[in-house]
Structure 1
Amino acid sequence: MRDIAGELGPWLAEGREVAVATVVGVSGSAPRGPGAALAVDGAGSALGSVSGGCVEGVVYDLCRQALADGRPVVERFGYSDDDAFAVGLTCGGTVEVLVTPVGAGAPARPVLASALAAFAEGRAAALVRIVHGPEELLGGALLVHADGSHEGTLGGSRQLDRLARDEALARVALGRTGTVDIAEDGSHCPGGVTLFVECRVPPPRMIVFGAIDFAAALVRAGAFLGFRVTVCDARPVFATRARFPEADEVVVDWPHRYLRRTETDGRTVLCVLTHDAKFDVPLLTEALRMPVAYVGAMGSRRTHTDRLRRLREVGLGERELSRLRSPIGLDLGARTPEETALSIAAEIVAARYGGTGLPLTGSSAPLHRTEHGLPEGAADRRGLEPLRSSG
């Protein structure tokens, strides 16, 4: 629901009865990921989308039915080989949708209102609901804040709420939305209930080092992708707000010193555009030892070879050096700052989802990767952590 939080919150505040359909599972190629939502009120007004149009009509009808009978329902939609125009996803995947009525007196209504406020304001939080389990539990909701406090209940035992809270906190730390099977004994296995944990975390950071023309274009690309973008350069004449009006912040400091003291996490991307050894070497020495998602550095292949030599001389090992994306970006034949920014942004997206960067024409790779980025274990193998944007 985080994608419609800013519009759905006022609906609840106005006292409208609504039904909310949320994508809780995706398999194969599907147009929208977990957390995508469609809301319908008692007058038939709708906002949001669960499929980009493929199954919108039938989900709308399910919402209207849920408003009428007050019963939650879980429905799965997929492609029909017999009739490509039947109710289903013509892109070939399947989606699972949870439809929840939120009447005026629904116990979960205040919890959902708090969750929508947190999502709209960008506060880190997770909303937990039950997708599979006893029917009487399908309407429950538990909102877990980043500090561990929580509101509401799933309607089962205190143990279930505690387990759900712990799982939500773990997922908030990673910014991951998805399902998890929980048994009453605390084990992660089928046989208990399936929880859907919808997370909202602040946008990931992009830190661009080097206040050059290419940086200005990359700032715009980063903002477009949903990053909170910082530009850092030690030269005050170049690192100005006037030159980077679309950056969230512009910092005048030595890059390695700023990186040492600023906040980063497993979703942060670092783009080093200085291509000057006196800046690059101390900065990359810090960066390649940090658990960030992406480290890229601009420069020719000759510059890259010299940079690797200098980094080895200061003690970096081959595992650390293997994390460096240099020359930065994908091979798009880019020439202009805008084209170069596009190639860098494309590589960041590919790293996020485990993409190949190859043309889709003739490729057998799935068009839509998992919601959370790389397949299980792939992040560790490649020295990457999956990114998560605010959406």
Structure 2
Amino acid sequence: MLDIAEELYRWLEEGRDFAVATVVGVGGSAPRGPGAALAVDSEGTVVGSVSGGCVESAVYDLCVQALQDGGTVLERFGYSDEDAFAVGLTCGGVLDVMITPIGAQAPVRPVFRAALSAAVGGEPAALARVVRGPAQLLGRALLVRPDGTYDGFRAGSDEGVLGGHPDLDRTAAAQARALLDAGRTGTVELSEDGSHCPGGLTLLVEANVPPPRMIVFGAVDFAAALVRAGKFLGYHVTVCDARPVFATRARFPAADDIVVDWPHRYLRRTETDGRTVLCVLTHDAKFDVPLLTAALRMPVAFVGAMGSRRTHEDRNRRLREAGVSERELARLRSPIGLDLGARTPEETALSITAEIVAARRGGTGVPLTGARMPIHRDGRDERDPDLHEGRSGGERDGAAAA
């Protein structure tokens, strides 16, 4: 749901009623993962997507119905071999979708407002919602902050936010905080013994964290195209170069930050994390060697360097002489990019970002034509029939997976 936070927050500020459909589970090959959302307001306006088109019309109708009924429902969409015209996913996967009405009197409206406000403001927070458990608890929510504090709504003075013992809230908050710390959206299981809830609960945790960083070292022609590609992928992009005549706003209007400094010195003082991508385009030993010596010892997601194969071999030799171990050197992706036959700066940027996506998602970079690996890797391979215990709505006729 947080992927459409700006639109939904605007709707709340305008006093609109709406229903939001959120993907809470996937099985097999599915186009979008948990957290993807589609919302419909009382005037029929729609934003977002849960499937890329396969089941959008049916989900739209369910949102309209939920606005009228006022109840949260859980639905499963799959592919039916018996009825080729049934609503379902032609890719063969399964989507579990929870539809939550957010009317003016909806108990969850305050916590939704707080979650959307945090997302719009760039504040880290995690929204945890019950997606499996007793029917009366479906859709209940907690907003969890980085310091472990949380809030939501209470259905009664003697129970916690999620409807059970207050220890249930604390357990849920701890689980949500762990996903928030990792910057991940996903589901967590709370067992019956540990959750103080008969049968246990499943929570969908949507983590809102600042965008990952891409730092481009080297204010060269290829860098401008890479900056634009990085922004398109949702990175906060910084360009760093020691030469002030090249590192200018006029040359890199799309960059979030432009830094004039020696690359290795800037890297040591700036903030990075396990999602940070470092792209070294300088292919000049006086910049590359001290920079990569530092970069390859940092817990970042990706370190790539541009250059010919001859440059690569010479750079590796110099890095070894600088004390970089073989294990550290194995992290370096050089020459950077996938083999696309790229020639122009834009094609080269596509090649580089394609390798970054493949590394992030576990892709191989080989053509899908003739390949036997799954197309969508984020979904679970096994279907979870237990997700629908306690649902308040029935499965779509002809749409349920076998």
Work out which of the residue numbers 330, 342, 346 in structure 2 matches 1:334.
342
Q: 2:123 corresponds to which residue? A: 123
1:211-230 matches, within 5 Å, as 211-230=219-238
Deviations 1:162-192 (A, max 9, x none): 11111111111221111110125448xx941
Q: 1:29 corresponds to which residue? A: 29
- Match for 1:93: what amino acid? G
CA contact (8 A) 1:159 1:184 kept: no
Report the identity percentage: 75
- Greater Cα shift, 67-76 or 234-243: 67-76
**Aligned-residue offset at 1:330:** 0.6
Q: Of the two structures, which has the highest relative contact order with CA contacts closer than 8 Å and spacing of 6 or more?
A: 2
CA contact (8 A) 1:160 1:184 kept: no
Q: 2:150 corresponds to which residue? A: 150
Q: How many Å separate the matches in 1 of 2:289 and 2:229? A: 26
Residue segments in structure 2 that go unaligned for 5+ positions in a row:
153-160, 381-402
User: Does residue 1:236 correspond to 2:247, yes or no?
Assistant: no
1:14-25 matches, within 5 Å, as 14-25=14-25
Task: Specify the SS of the correspondent of 2:342.
Answer: coil
**Aligned-residue offset at 1:371:** 6.9
**Aligned-residue offset at 1:8:** 1.6
Q: 2:93 corresponds to which residue? A: 93
Q: 1:359 corresponds to which residue? A: 367
Q: How many Å separate the matches in 2 of 1:15 and 1:255? A: 49
CA contact (8 A) 2:108 2:140 kept: yes
CA contact (8 A) 1:221 1:341 kept: yes
Q: How many Å separate the matches in 2 of 1:61 and 1:313? A: 65
Task: Specify the SS of the correspondent of 2:88.
Answer: coil
Equivalent pairs counted in the alignment come to: 370
Q: Return the TM-score normalized by structure 2.
A: 0.88
**Aligned-residue offset at 1:34:** 1.4
**Aligned-residue offset at 1:108:** 1.3
Q: 1:383 corresponds to which residue? A: none
Task: Specify the SS of the correspondent of 1:179.
Answer: strand
CA contact (8 A) 2:122 2:209 kept: yes
Q: How many Å separate the matches in 2 of 1:55 and 1:248? A: 37
Task: Specify the SS of the correspondent of 1:163.
Answer: helix
**Aligned-residue offset at 1:118:** 1.4
- Match for 1:313: what amino acid? E
* RMSD of aligned alpha carbons: 1.8
**Aligned-residue offset at 1:333:** 1.1
Q: 1:305 corresponds to which residue? A: 313
Q: 1:26 to 1:238 in 2, by over 3 A?
A: same
Q: How many Å separate the matches in 2 of 1:44 and 1:333? A: 46
Residue segments in structure 1 that go unaligned for 5+ positions in a row:
373-391
Deviations 1:28-83 (A, max 9, x none): 22222211112223344333221222112222222233233332121111111123
Q: 1:184 to 1:163 in 2, by over 3 A?
A: farther
Q: Return the TM-score normalized by structure 1.
A: 0.90
Q: How many Å separate the matches in 1 of 2:42 and 2:281? A: 54
Q: How many Å separate the matches in 2 of 1:16 and 1:216? A: 41
**Aligned-residue offset at 1:120:** 2.0
